[in-house]
């Protein structure tokens, strides 16, 4: 007994062996995940790009109108922080500033600060809290994508009688002679609202589709965009970025909102899960070919199916199975495609064997055996028909 126990071999690999073998695959999986995340982030940023980005050639970008403005002599200054926008405004003097807070990097106070930097300020698609900070007389309205008429006499719209509205709309809730609403739709929403603040002309723009690369060629969008953005010699195009958050603004991120224990706890959970998988996970050895205990011959399958048909008296079902095989073989003998219909096969076989179409149709389609003898008789006729066609097509 002791000698047998000494000579025995442990076939199941130990945890240390399994771990050593798995290290390569674990490292490869981690590397693959990291590469995939980086690739997806880069690809997503390349395809999408921030909306109204003057450097983006994609559909949501505005590179086309920015380049045309430069060709017309407008100095287009692109900035990505509020400090840079403020510095550009100080250097330019009388100028136009356009910005949007799509990503939520700016606080309401920063939006209010940006809205007073230049003599003409265009705020694209502001949301409720931003409107309360810069234009409490204006509220959000329904969205629209239809073509709308100017409906006002502002100089900005003089050469653009119709533009593509949307994606946002705004309405005036406190009317004033200093407020002009343009490009209204049937829902009392306007694509452009101009507020005269004395030293500053503030423009709330909802019809941003008219500026994008994808929509600039529709209606009078090009004329509208060039007039709106090119009123002054300098256009400061401010696209807020995460750098504005470092200055104390912006919406709190998920990391800032989550408790401090979340990240360490997540890593601990993942490591525990991995250790448990390595410890208790099933250890697979090499693949082993196992012989099946029984080999079922096709003839036995056929006989078993025949007995089932006989027991259930499914004569028509049995005959249809025979017909399908006969029709398929007849089509092959006649050089017809596998998609040939029964009627095509009957029309081809009838002149070959000299039988009327009605007789062949009765045999291959219509006959319904009521007894076992009729089923056997029809089966014999199918076999005889197939043999006759084979003899004609391929004589001995």
Topology at the third CATH level for domain 63-254: Rossmann fold (3.40.50)
Describe the chain by its helix, strand, coil percentages, rounded to 5: 50, 15, 40
Kindly give, in sequence order, each residue whose CB lies less than 8 Å from that of residue 300, ignoring residues fewer than 6 positions away.
none
Mean pLDDT of the 319-342 span: 89
246/307: higher pLDDT: 307
Q: Are 313 and 370 in contact (CB under 8 A)?
A: no
Which of 13-17, 68-72, 94-98, 379-383 shows the lowest mean pLDDT across its residues?
13-17
- Start-end of CATH 3.40.50 domains in the chain: 63-254
pLDDT band at 243 (very low <50, low <70, confident <90, very high): confident
Q: To which H or E segment does residue 139 belong?
A: strand 138-141
Distance, CA of 330 to CA of 320 (rounded, Å): 15
pLDDT band at 273 (very low <50, low <70, confident <90, very high): confident
Q: What is the mean pLDDT of the chain?
A: 82
**Count of all residues that appear for the chain in the document:** 396
Which is nearest to 392 in space by CA: 355, 363, 359, 338? 355
Strands 147-149 and 201-205, sheet pairing: unpaired
pLDDT for res 371 = 87
Q: Are 150 and 132 in contact (CB under 8 A)?
A: no
> Residue 234's beta-bridge partner residues?
75
pLDDT for res 14 = 55
Q: Does the pLDDT value for residue 292 go beyond 80?
A: no
The 3-state DSSP class for residue 190 equals strand
Structure confidence by residue, pLDDT tens digits, 1-31: 444 444 444 445 555 555 666 666 677 667 6
Structure confidence by residue, pLDDT tens digits, 107-117: 999 999 999 99
Q: How far is CA 366 from CA 42, 125, 247, 343, 359, in A?
A: 66, 72, 86, 12, 10
Model-wide pTM > 0.85 = no
């Amino acid at each position: 007994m002791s000698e047998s126990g000494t000579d025995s071999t442990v076939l199941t690999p130990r945890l240390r062996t399994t771990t050593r073998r798995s290290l390569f695959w674990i490292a490869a999986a981690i590397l693959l995940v990291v590469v995939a995340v980086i690739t997806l982030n880069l690809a997503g940023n390349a395809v999408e790009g921030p909306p109204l980005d003057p450097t983006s050639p994609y559909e949501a970008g505005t590179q086309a109108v920015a380049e045309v403005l430069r060709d017309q002599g407008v100095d287009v200054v692109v900035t990505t922080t509020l400090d840079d926008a403020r510095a550009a405004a100080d250097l330019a003097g009388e100028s136009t500033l356009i910005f949007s807070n799509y990503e939520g990097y700016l606080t309401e106070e920063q939006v209010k600060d940006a809205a007073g930097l230049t003599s003409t300020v265009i705020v694209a698609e502001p949301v409720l809290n931003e409107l309360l900070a810069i234009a409490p007389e204006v509220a959000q309205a329904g969205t629209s994508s239809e073509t709308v008429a100017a409906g006002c006499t502002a100089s900005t719209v003089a050469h653009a009688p119709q533009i593509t509205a949307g994606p946002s709309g705004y309405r005036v809730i406190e009317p004033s002679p200093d407020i002009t609403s343009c490009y209204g739709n049937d829902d009392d929403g306007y694509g452009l609202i101009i507020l005269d603040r004395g030293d500053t002309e503030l423009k709330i723009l909802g019809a941003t589709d008219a500026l994008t690369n994808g929509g600039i060629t529709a209606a009078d969008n090009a004329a509208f965009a060039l007039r709106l953005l090119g009123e002054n010699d300098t256009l400061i195009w401010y696209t807020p970025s995460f750098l504005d958050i470092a200055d104390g603004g912006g919406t709190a991120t998920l990391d800032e909102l989550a408790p401090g224990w979340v990240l360490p706890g997540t890593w601990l959970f993942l490591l525990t899960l991995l250790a448990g998988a390595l410890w208790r996970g099933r250890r697979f050895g090499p693949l082993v070919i196992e012989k099946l205990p029984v080999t079922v011959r096709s003839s036995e399958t056929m006989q078993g199916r025949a007995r089932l048909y006989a027991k259930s008296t499914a004569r028509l079902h049995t005959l249809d199975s025979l017909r399908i095989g006969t029709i398929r073989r007849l089509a092959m003998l006649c050089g017809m495609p596998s998609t040939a219909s029964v009627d095509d096969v009957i029309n081809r076989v009838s002149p070959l064997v000299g039988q009327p179409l009605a007789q062949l149709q009765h045999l291959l389609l219509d006959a319904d055996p009521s007894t076992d003898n009729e089923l056997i008789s029809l089966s014999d006729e199918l076999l005889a028909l197939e043999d006759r066609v084979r003899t004609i097509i391929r004589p001995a």
